[in-house]
Structure formats: structure tokens, C-alpha cells
Amino acid sequence: MKSERDSGAKQALSGRRSFLGLAAAGLGGVLIAPGIHLIEVAQAAARGTAPAGANAKVRWGLLIDTTKCASGCSDCVSACNTENGLAAPTRPTDAQWIRKIEIKSVATGRAQSLPVMCQHCAEPPCVDVCPTGASFKRADGIVLVDRHSCIGCRYCIMACPYQARSFVHEPLTAQKPEVPRGKGCVEGCTLCVHRIDAGGGPACVEACASAGHHAMLFGDLNDADSEISHRVREVASKQLRPDLRLDPGVRYQGLA
């Protein structure tokens, strides 16, 4: 009787082992196979594309003169929304690539108004933390999100000291072809990279100049002869949260 029971138990154990072995092999195959396939596809695609890169000698940047930036003026924000196909924000879930911030010194009471967008850091924390490398810095200093490899983990939003990124909370329609956007991905100011690559500058800077404020200046910080380089040499300007030493490409003049 005892030996029968033992033999039954052994059979059950053996069946259980085969089942577990098969299950483990099957699960391993299911998990690994698509990855291998995708790596092959990605490598094949990479072989077929010509490298198109930004100029590593350039460091695009902005100088914002807060003394010329009027409280209540939001021309730069409207221009950004129009250029990039963003709806005017009404809720905390809506994307804002640039916003006007009103600040007041606690010690002196001095009030100022200024635009804040992605600061295009030389040491961007969003790029460091991104698990897939979707957050990246171009050779010319522009920090972007690759919408094809962003998995929407939002870790970059947690890491950004400037609250400069937004998560697309809803399905989008009628996006602009030159500004790829999509639900479930993170996005932020691209410095109007599509315009820069076509030889232009950011829409916010253009709008500010068109309105006669001239509070924003765009240019190559690496070119000693550029207007922005002259200005940052001549006038006092500062980066936001300089204590973090992220070396943002956006500088502010007149910020107390």
C-alpha cells in the first residue's frame, strides 16, 4: 500500500516536473523571441539609413531679458502653441512647452515676469534617467524626446528641475507633420528644431521680436561672433538653479 502511494507520488512529481520544464521553456521563448526579432529589424534599418546629424560645433541657446518681458504678455506662449499645434491649455493635464511665470522676491518684494521652457541643459537629468534613451541631447545642444522609443514612464518629468516637460494625457488628432506628438509620450520645447534645421529660429523668439519686445535672443553660444555670445559677455546673465550645475543653454538677464 505504502509503495503504491510512493509510486503514485513519484509519478505526480515527474509529471509536475515535465510541466514546469515545458512551461519555463515556453515562457522563455515567448519573452526572448520578439526581442531578437526587433534587434534584427533595428539593425537592418540602421544599415539602410544615412547618418543625419546636428553640428557638434554649435551650441544653440537663448538669452531672455527679463527687464523687457512684460507681465501679462504671452505672445511667446501663443506662438509656441500655434507653431507646434498645441491647444491653449486649460487643465493640469494639458501640455505646456513654454509658460510665463510671475515671480516676486520674498526678501525685497521685486516682481518679475519671464518665460520658462526646456532649458536645454548641457548635463540634462532627463537624459540621464531615461531608461530607453528616448530623451537625448543632439550634438548642437538641443534636448529632445524620440517619440518612437519613449515608453511614457515619466521618469524624465520627475527628474527635470524646471517642470519643463509634459505628458500627453489624451489621444491627439491633426498633429503637424513636422512636430510629431502622440498620446502616452512625454514632450517638451524642441527649440523649434524643425525651423532651426531649416535655417530659422524658434517661433517664441520671432513672436517676441515681432511684438516689439525683443526680450528673447536666439543664437549659437559657441560662436564667439554671434550676437548672443556678445550679449552674454557684456551683460550679467544667469541660469536657473545654477547650484545644480546642469549648464542650461537658456540664460536670463536682469533676474534678481
At 184, phi and psi to the nearest 5? 85, 0
Contact residue for other proteins among 153, 179, 209, 211 (CB under 8 A): 153
Give, as ranges, the residues between 34 and 53 that touch other proteins (CB under 8 A).
Answer: 34-35, 38-39, 42
Which H/E stretch holds residue 250?
A: strand 250-253
Long-range contacts of 171-180, Cβ-Cβ distance < 8 Å, separation of 24 or more: 174/85, 175/85, 176/84, 176/85, 179/83, 179/84, 179/85, 180/147
Residue 217 and residue 214: Cα distance in Å, rounded?
7
With a CB cutoff of 8 Å and minimum separation 6, the contacts of 239 are 119, 246, 247, 248, 250, 251, 252
Stretch of 56-64, 98-106, 194-202, 205-213 lying at the interface with other proteins (CB under 8 A) = 98-106
Q: What residues from 213 to 252 belong to the interface with other proteins (CB under 8 A)?
A: 240-241, 244
87 touches other proteins by CB under 8 A: no
Between 96 and 229, CB nearer to other proteins: 96
Q: Say what the alpha-carbon torsion angle 67, 71, 77, 78 is, to the nearest 10 degrees.
A: -120
Residue 161 as a binder of other proteins (CB under 8 A): the answer is yes
Q: Which of 25, 170, 175, 236 binds other proteins (CB under 8 A)?
A: 170
Q: What is the 3-state secondary structure of 113-138?
A: EEEEECCCCCCCHHHHHCCCCCEEEC
- CB 176, min distance to other proteins, A: 19
For the bound state, the minimum distance from the C-beta of residue 148 to other proteins, rounded and expressed in Å, comes to 8
Among 6, 7, 11, 16, binds other proteins (CB under 8 A): 16
Least distance (Å) between residue 180 CB and other proteins:
14
User: What is the nearest approach in angstroms of other proteins to the Cβ of residue 184?
Assistant: 3
Nearer to other proteins, 39 or 139 (CB): 39
Residues ≥6 apart with Cβ < 8 Å to 119 = 162, 164, 239, 240, 246, 248, 249, 250
Q: Does 157 bind other proteins (CB under 8 A)?
A: yes
**Binding-site member from 14, 105, 175, 210 for other proteins (CB under 8 A):** 105
Please tell me what DSSP assigns to residue 244.
Answer: G
Type of residue found at 190: T
Among 14, 184, 235, 236, interactor with other proteins by CB under 8 A: 184
CA distance 76 to 211: 10
Which residues does residue 145 pair with via DSSP β-bridges, in sequence order?
135
Smallest separation (angstroms) from other proteins to the CB of 74? 9
Helix 203-210 with 75-84: angle, nearest 10 deg: 140
Residues in the interface with other proteins (CB under 8 A) total 62
Residues that bind other proteins (CB under 8 A): 16, 20, 24, 34-35, 38-39, 42, 89, 91-96, 99-107, 116, 125, 127-134, 149-155, 157-163, 165-171, 183-186, 240-241, 244
